[in-house]
Structure 1
C-alpha cells in the first residue's frame, strides 16, 4: 500500500513540475531535461527543479518586492543620463553594443578613465590592499566568495587600521559563495565597526531564492576615486591551491568616471541587503578625476531585469565581430543561442578561438563543456586547453572591444546570478589582453578534431550525461 501512496505522490509532484515547465519554461531543450529529471528521479528531481529550475523571471518575478526595489533604484540612480551617451564612439559596432546595454540597464558609457589590467590574483590583491591603505572616507567591498585565509587576513588587518582613522567600511558577501566564512571572522569585522551583510541570506522564506539567485559580482570601491572589478574572489586559491595549483584570473583597476557607475551597482545591492539608501549622499555618488583616455561601460545584469543582460552583451559582441573573437573562460557551457552564434561566426570566416582550462573544480562542468567541442570544431572554432586553472572571464573582438568581469558562459550566469562585467572600448587595453591571450595559447594544447573524436565511449557517455544534467549546475 505504501508503494502506491508514494507512486501517487510522485505523480502529483511530477504533474505540478510538468505544468510549470510546460507553461513557464523558456528553452525547449532545457525544459525537456527538467521533465526527464523530474520523471526519472522521484522526489529528488522535483526538489532540484524547485530550487534550480523554476523560471522566476517568467513567474512574475519582476513584480516581487525585492526585484522592484532593485529596478527602481537603478532607474533613479541614472535618471539624468541623456540618450546620446555613445555619440563619441566612432565604430558602428561599438555604438550598437553600447546602446544595447544602455537601453536594457540605463547604465551609460563613461569616458575619461584610466584602466590597469591586473593579470593574476597576486597583482589584484596587492593593488586592492594598497588602495585600502590610502582610503580617507570609505571602503566598500562586495565579493561572491570571502574565504578565511592569508588574503582575507591581510585585508582585515588594513581595515582595522583604517577604522581607527574613522574610515567607514561596508562589506557585502553572497550567502552561498561565502558559506564557509567563519562566524568569528564576521564578528571580528563587526567589532571593528565594519558593516557586513549577506546579500542573499539563508533565511526562512528566502532559502530557495538565495540558493539559486546568487550574487556573483566582484566589486571594490574606495572613496569613489578608485574601483576594482573582474573575476577574482577573496580566496587563498589565487596564491596556493593544493588541488588545481594557483588559480589564474583577470581583474581591473579603474580610475575615472566609470568608478561612479561601478559604485552605483554596489549601492543598489547594499540597499537591497540593508534597506539603507546611500544614493543621496554626495560622498558616494560624486565623480572625481575623469581625465583618462579609456571609455568603459558597466554591464550589471541579473534576474531583476526583464532581459538576460549579460547573455545579450555576449551575443552582441559575437554577432558584431568582423575579424576575430577570443574567449577566456573557466565554464563554457553555452546556451543554444550562444552556441549557434559561435558556429555562425566561424562558418562565416571569423577567427574564433576559445582558451579553456584542461582541469577544473567541477567534473560535471568539465564533462558538460567537453560535450560541445565536436560541434564547435566542426564549424571551424579553434579550441585550446591550458594546463593551469584559469578563472578569468574575458572576451574581446577584432582587437578593438573587450569585456572583463564575473560572467561565465553558462545558464547560471545568464539567467540566475547577479553578474557584473566591464565593457571596454579601448584598443590599447584590448591589445594588452590579446598579447597575454596569445602567450597563454602558445603554452596550451590545441584540440584536433580527428584525435578528439576517438575518445572513449565512457568519456562520451559522461559528457552527454553531464550535458543533460547541466540545468543543475
Structure 2
C-alpha cells in the first residue's frame, strides 16, 4: 500500500514539477511550490491546483470565468480610445500615465474634484450624504460587506431611495463577505435592491471564487460622484476591535470626468456577475464635468488583464521617484521586483519611508512583513510601525503623485485579486496626504536596525517560515 501511495505521490509531483518549471514566472515562487508539492503528499499538489497554477499561460487550466472576463474586456477595449486623450507636461507623470493607459485603456481625466477621506467616519458620512442625494441610481461594490450598524444604516437609506424609485445595485465578493447573512440579502431583494455575489461559491467555479477575489471598493451615485479606496462596509471602522482597535483607512470621493471610468469598472463586474450589460444604456455612461482641476486616472487590475497592472503601476512610481517615496499599507509583503526597486531607490539617494502597522489581523502576514525589514533597513529605507491598525493602501512620490486604492503590497493583490486604485496627479492633494502621513509618523515607532538585528531566534524563525510562504499569500 505504501509503495502504491508513494508512486502516486511521485507521479503527481512530477506533473506539478513540469508545470512549475515550464510555466512558473518567478524563481522564488516556483521553488516554494516545488518544495510544497514534494514535502506534502497529495495536499501540496491540491494546493498548487487551487492557488499556484499560472492560468495566464496554461490555457487548459484557465477558468471559464477568466475566459469570459477576457473576452468581454477585449470587446470593451476595442470600443474605447486608442490614445491617451490628455497628456501631462511632466515627463515623469506622463510616463506613469501612459503605462496605465496602455494596460487598461482608461485615459487620464481632467477637471475632477477630489476629497480625501482620512478614516471610516469621514468615509461613511460622505457616502450617506451622497446616497441621500441620489436621483437615478446607486451602485455599490465591496470586497467585505458585514452585518452591523454601518450596513443597517445603509439599508435604511437604500429603502428610502427605493421608495423614490432610485435604482440600487450591490455587488459583493463571496469570500470577503462570507458572513453576510442570507436574511439580510433577502431583505434587500424584498425592497427592490439588485444584489449579486461577484464570485459565487458554486459547482464549477469554486477554485475561481476562492483564489480570484474581487477586492475592489467602489460606490457610484448617478455618475456624478464616486468613491474608492480601502474602506469596506464593516463596523471595524467605528467600533474597537479586541486586538486592533478601530481600523484606520483612507478613501477618496471623486466628482467629475473620472467617475465615468470608475463606473465602467463596476459595470464590467456587474456584467460578469449577472450577464446583464448596462454599458449599452446611455444614463450609465453620462459624464459630468466640474470646475475642479485635479488630474486623475483610474487603475483597474486583475487576472483578466495580460499584465500585472497594479504591480507595474507601483514599480513605475518607485522607479520614477527623484526625491521621496512614502508608503502606507497594511500588508507589506513585496515581490522580489518591488523589494529591489525600493532598495535601489534608497541606495540612489531617494528618501524611502514605510509606515506600517506593528500588528495586523493575520499573524503570518505580520511575520512575513517583518522578514523583509532587515534588507530594507540595510539599504537605507526608513520604517515606522504604528500601534493602531491602518488598512490604508497609499503610495505617493516627490510630493506630486498619489495612489489611493484597494491594492496591498503582496502577491495576492498583484496577481490574483481584482483591484482598483485612483492615481492622482495633484500637488495639493499629495501635500494633504503627506501632512497626514507626517502626523502619523509622530505617533509611530521608528525601527532601528541595530535593535532589530537583536530580535529573538524564535522571532527570526517565524519570520523565515512566513517569508517562505510569502509568495503564496
**TM-score, with normalisation over the residues of structure 1?**
0.97
Cα deviation per residue 1:381-440 (whole Å; 9 max; x = unaligned)?
Answer: 000000000000000000000000000000000000000000000110000000000000
Q: In 2, distance between residues paired with 1:8 and 1:64?
A: 29
In structure 2, what is the equivalent of residue 215 of structure 1?
Answer: 214
Q: In 2, distance between residues paired with 1:237 and 1:36?
A: 38
Q: In 2, distance between residues paired with 1:80 and 1:31?
A: 37
In structure 2, what is the equivalent of residue 203 of structure 1?
Answer: 202
In structure 2, what is the equivalent of residue 386 of structure 1?
Answer: 386
1:58 aligns to what SS in structure 2? coil
The alpha-carbon deviation at position 73 of structure 1 amounts to 4.0
- C-alpha contact 2:84 2:101 (8 A) present in aligned 1: no
Q: In 2, distance between residues paired with 1:196 and 1:461?
A: 45
2:297 aligns to what SS in structure 1? strand
Q: Name the stretch that deviates more: 405-414 or 235-244.
A: 235-244
1:428 and 2:423 are equivalent in the alignment: no
- C-alpha contact 1:228 1:252 (8 A) present in aligned 2: yes
Q: In 1, distance between residues paired with 2:343 and 2:304?
A: 30
Q: In 1, distance between residues paired with 2:38 and 2:225?
A: 52
In structure 1, what is the equivalent of residue 112 of structure 2?
Answer: 113
Task: Identify if the C-alpha distance between structure 1 residues 349 and 186 changes in structure 2 by more than 3 Å, giving closer, same or farther.
Answer: same
Q: In 2, distance between residues paired with 1:71 and 1:108?
A: 20
In structure 1, what is the equivalent of residue 48 of structure 2?
Answer: 49
Cα deviation per residue 1:322-347 (whole Å; 9 max; x = unaligned)?
Answer: 00000000000000000000000000
Q: In 2, distance between residues paired with 1:71 and 1:292?
A: 34
In structure 2, what is the equivalent of residue 344 of structure 1?
Answer: 344
Q: In 2, distance between residues paired with 1:39 and 1:139?
A: 50
Q: In 2, distance between residues paired with 1:448 and 1:180?
A: 40
- C-alpha contact 1:247 1:389 (8 A) present in aligned 2: yes
Task: Identify if the C-alpha distance between structure 1 residues 84 and 411 changes in structure 2 by more than 3 Å, giving closer, same or farther.
Answer: closer
- C-alpha contact 1:300 1:419 (8 A) present in aligned 2: yes
Cα deviation per residue 1:116-146 (whole Å; 9 max; x = unaligned)?
Answer: 0000011111111111111110010000000
Q: In 2, distance between residues paired with 1:81 and 1:103?
A: 11
Task: Identify if the C-alpha distance between structure 1 residues 64 and 53 changes in structure 2 by more than 3 Å, giving closer, same or farther.
Answer: closer
In structure 2, what is the equivalent of residue 407 of structure 1?
Answer: 407
1:42 aligns to what SS in structure 2? coil
In structure 2, what is the equivalent of residue 467 of structure 1?
Answer: 467
Pairs within 5 Å for 1:360-399: 360-399=360-399
- C-alpha contact 2:55 2:62 (8 A) present in aligned 1: no
Q: In 2, distance between residues paired with 1:166 and 1:76?
A: 32
The alpha-carbon deviation at position 52 of structure 1 amounts to 1.2
- C-alpha contact 1:332 1:410 (8 A) present in aligned 2: yes
Q: In 1, distance between residues paired with 2:60 and 2:187?
A: 36
In structure 2, what is the equivalent of residue 17 of structure 1?
Answer: 16
- C-alpha contact 1:323 1:351 (8 A) present in aligned 2: yes
In structure 1, what is the equivalent of residue 231 of structure 2?
Answer: 232
What are structure 2's unaligned runs of at least 5 residues?
Answer: none
- C-alpha contact 2:29 2:472 (8 A) present in aligned 1: no
Q: In 2, distance between residues paired with 1:30 and 1:293?
A: 43
The alpha-carbon deviation at position 66 of structure 1 amounts to 3.5
Q: In 1, distance between residues paired with 2:338 and 2:274?
A: 36
Q: In 2, distance between residues paired with 1:16 and 1:203?
A: 27
1:279 aligns to what SS in structure 2? helix
Pairs within 5 Å for 1:114-193: 114-193=113-192
Q: Name the stretch that deviates more: 340-349 or 39-48.
A: 39-48
Pairs within 5 Å for 1:51-66: 51-60=50-59, 66=65
The alpha-carbon deviation at position 65 of structure 1 amounts to 5.1
**TM-score, with normalisation over the residues of structure 2?**
0.97
Cα deviation per residue 1:11-54 (whole Å; 9 max; x = unaligned)?
Answer: 22212211111111100011000110111112221121111111
- C-alpha contact 2:411 2:472 (8 A) present in aligned 1: no
- C-alpha contact 1:111 1:290 (8 A) present in aligned 2: no
1:332 aligns to what SS in structure 2? coil
The alpha-carbon deviation at position 226 of structure 1 amounts to 0.4
In structure 2, what is the equivalent of residue 243 of structure 1?
Answer: 243
Q: In 1, distance between residues paired with 2:84 and 2:253?
A: 27
1:464 aligns to what SS in structure 2? helix
1:270 aligns to what SS in structure 2? helix
In structure 1, what is the equivalent of residue 254 of structure 2?
Answer: 254
Pairs within 5 Å for 1:289-308: 289-308=289-308
The alpha-carbon deviation at position 70 of structure 1 amounts to 3.1
The alpha-carbon deviation at position 472 of structure 1 amounts to 3.4
CA RMSD between the two structures: 1.4
Cα deviation per residue 1:278-331 (whole Å; 9 max; x = unaligned)?
Answer: 011111000013321101000000000000000000000000000000000000
Q: In 2, distance between residues paired with 1:9 and 1:206?
A: 27
Q: In 1, distance between residues paired with 2:64 and 2:28?
A: 31
In structure 1, what is the equivalent of residue 318 of structure 2?
Answer: 318
The alpha-carbon deviation at position 63 of structure 1 amounts to 7.0
